[in-house]
Amino acid sequence: SGKDATAALKHLAIAEGRSVKVCTTRHKGMRGVLMCKGVTDFKKSGRRELLHGYDCAYTAVIERWNWKRDGAPGTFWITKYVPHTYVLCKSSPSLPSKAIAADERINAIVKGAGTKTTGKAIASTVRRTLGVAITPRAASRVKQHVLSEVREDFNTTFKRLPSYARAFEDLNPGSIFYVHWTRESEGAFISLNLCSAQIATLASRAGLRLFAIDACTFRGPHYRGQAIQTVALIDGHEHGANFRNLPICVTVCDDEVREAYDAHMNMWKHIAIGGLNDEGDALTLHDHIVSKDSVIFIDGGSAIHSAVERRCAGDGHVLSCALHILANVKKHHREPDFKDARFWGIQAATTYEDFEVLMDELANNCPGAAGFLWSKNPSEWTVWGWIERGAVTYGRRTSNPVEQTHSLQVAMRHWSPLAFIEQYLVDMAELVAELKTTADVLQTRLDRGESPFTPCVQKSIDKARLDAVHSVQRVIATP
């Protein structure tokens, strides 16, 4: 039918990355025409020539014959096709991101700046070069289109992984870069595990003993695996920030399962960070992360929860991300009286008595949400539970350190695993010099008997201590 012809032409236009005007010219449902708006304007104007940069000659005609023509009767055929004459034509006043990325000037600028270029900078360049205003989100898509062109062939990158891993371990003694295959040679890729000993050591010296673990998804057209990362919270010190996030180790795998988290955490035991533990053995990253003074934020996933609890039971303070708890409540119990502010008030209660009163009030209006929250072990996601455990979170109530890291890697997660790891190491190298300075400042202040932390960090520590004292005083005063 003519409707089928129109649908086919629309798909053709979508494939070209632009919208066009559909002409309803039909002969008994046998013919459909697609053209730029500029063509119709040109025909109405009476002009004899197309105006450069204004009109576009794009035309596509699709027809169907009832008789046989190199195919079955009724087959649709494209009988006329003129490609778009100009990148900027009236068929697409908003200029799709793919068309912007195809412009030689924009393409060269983005490739020259690489992954460090921002959406704001790209939008400004497009406005200046092409005279078109785009949103930051559209600018991000332009960046992805351009940078995807410079990525190597996807299958080739997997073959390069083993040699890349060996070179990394040779240049970084004590570090881990292990690639797992289905067979020892020419097998299918399963996972890779990477941890830099230098970065782990600096994290132990400049870190605040707060860690977050989570996975994010690759978004590329060929690989849809997971990147599991452990991120440490760092004192910002002299770099204009009170806190900074430092990725310590990463695992790239197909699925977010317990075995993947086990392999990820197993790296901790093989990374020495200097010094000796209580047994007289070399101090490892595992000893640092699961010590009684450390805090580990995780989400509510069963895979990570079982892996972390089994490895860190009785040692580190394993806390649940309050934001994930809130998201799960809203997902499973859509009660109109349940509001975000109400949840955060419950989560921020500093004593069990205050928490119980607020939960009783919630149960009267939202029994489903209250029952769900009670089932999630409140001592893991409430402030009063953290105070009783002696956990210092520096004002953190969520897994934001790792979530913020994931948000900075959106463009990288459209690449192959090798390209992702290469950029990951480049970003980490830029932090090493800064962290060395931070670690030296911390050590100097400790040697002088001074507080090694910035005022903001010290304020968070003092508040945690004060909350703990008030909690103990209230328990003692209770008859």
283 and 166 in a common domain: yes
Residue 177 covered by a domain: yes
Distance in Å from the first CA to the final CA of the chain: 84
What is the pLDDT at residue 297?
Answer: 92
What is the pLDDT at residue 193?
Answer: 93
**Each residue's pLDDT tens digit in the chain (479 positions)?**
556 666 666 666 555 544 445 554 444 556 666 666 544 454 555 555 555 445 566 677 777 665 555 555 556 667 777 766 555 554 444 556 777 777 777 877 777 676 667 788 888 888 787 777 777 778 888 887 777 665 545 666 777 788 888 888 888 888 999 888 876 555 678 889 999 888 888 888 767 888 999 999 988 767 888 999 999 988 765 444 567 888 999 999 988 888 899 999 999 989 988 877 777 788 899 888 888 888 899 987 888 888 887 777 655 588 999 999 999 888 888 788 888 888 999 998 988 999 999 999 999 988 898 999 998 888 889 998 888 888 888 888 889 899 999 988 888 888 888 888 888 888 887 776 666 666 666 667 666 766 555 565 556 555 555 554 444 444 333 33
Residue 348 covered by a domain: yes
Residue 54 covered by a domain: yes
Residue 241 covered by a domain: yes
What is the pLDDT at residue 56?
Answer: 65
End residue of a domain, out of 131, 150, 169: 150
What is the pLDDT at residue 27?
Answer: 46
Residue 479 covered by a domain: no
Residue 190 and residue 376 in contact, taking contact as beta carbons nearer than 8 Å: no
360 and 260 in a common domain: yes
Produce one character per residue of 15-36: b if its CB has 16 or more CB atoms within 10 Å, e if not: ebbbbbbbbeebeeebbbbbbb
What is the pLDDT at residue 212?
Answer: 92
374 and 341 in a common domain: yes
Cite the DSSP H helix spans in 207-351. Answer: 258-266, 285-289, 302-312, 322-332, 340-347
29 and 77 in a common domain: yes
What is the pLDDT at residue 44?
Answer: 57
Token readout for 449 is 């008997």
Distance between CA 415 and CA 220 in Å, rounded?
6
162 and 103 in a common domain: no
224 and 111 in a common domain: no
Distance between CA 428 and CA 409 in Å, rounded?
13
355 to 301, 344, 348: CA distances (angstroms): 24, 11, 8
| Token pair 């690639």 in the structure block, residue | 179
pTM reported for the whole predicted model? 0.62
434 and 346 in a common domain: yes
End residue of a domain, out of 36, 59, 82: 82
The letter for the amino acid at 325 is I
Largest CA distance in the chain: 97
203 and 338 in a common domain: yes
326 to 84, 332, 430: CA distances (angstroms): 50, 10, 35
178 and 326 in a common domain: yes
Q: What length does the chain have?
A: 479
Token readout for 78 is 């494209």
What is the pLDDT at residue 261?
Answer: 92
Residue 474 covered by a domain: no
398 and 316 in a common domain: yes
The boundaries of the domain holding residue 354 are 154-465
| Number of structural domains found in the chain | 3
Residue 278 sits at the vertex; the CA angle it makes with 273 and 284, to the nearest 5 degrees, is 20
123 and 71 in a common domain: no
355 and 219 in a common domain: yes
Q: Kindly tell me the sign of the dihedral angle through the C-alpha atoms of 324, 326, 329, 332.
A: negative
Give the three-class secondary structure for 453. coil
Rounded-to-10 torsion of CA 14, 19, 20, 23: 70
End residue of a domain, out of 82, 117, 133: 82
What is the pLDDT at residue 223?
Answer: 80
User: How buried is residue 10: exposed, middle or buried, by Cβ count under 10 Å (0-12/13-18/19+)?
Assistant: middle
Distance between CA 249 and CA 274 in Å, rounded?
17
Token readout for 373 is 């929250």
What is the CA 262 to chain-centroid distance, rounded? 21
Residue 90 covered by a domain: no
What is the enclosing helix (H) or strand (E) of 464?
helix 455-477
